[in-house]
Amino acid sequence: MRMIDNNEADDKIIAVAQNDMSVNHINDVSELPAHFILQLQNFFEDYKKLENKEVKVNEFQDVETAIQIIKKAITDYQNEFKNQN
């Protein structure tokens, strides 16, 4: 889920528990019910309003995009902390 939190990118990865038989058949966000997607979007856009912060959900993307985001985050982390033991 591509999200902007207080004018900064704040992507969210939507995942399911592998051992939960009620959801482990879901492989992509596109397989979720449309109403559930709206609930997620509303939650993330509303939860910081009490802090007077603006959150905007731009779009939900596919599993391939999620994997790219995760790989980039790992690389960024490794680069940031490569000289620390």
Q: Report, in this order, helix, strand and coil percent for the chain, each rounded to 5.
A: 45, 15, 45
Query: Which architecture does CATH list for 2-80?
Result: Alpha-Beta Complex (3.90)
pTM of structure: 0.78
Amino acid at 49: K
Give the mean pLDDT of 67-81. 96
Task: Say yes or no to pLDDT of 83 above 90.
Answer: no
What does the domain layout of the chain look like in residue ranges?
2-80
Q: Is 13 left (phi over 0), alpha (psi -120 to 50) or beta?
A: beta
Instruction: Provide the pLDDT confidence category of residue 85 given band limits of 50, 70 and 90.
Output: low
Task: Say yes or no to pLDDT of 45 above 80.
Answer: yes
- Gyration radius of the chain over CA positions: 15
What counts of helices (H) and strands (E) characterise the chain?
2, 3
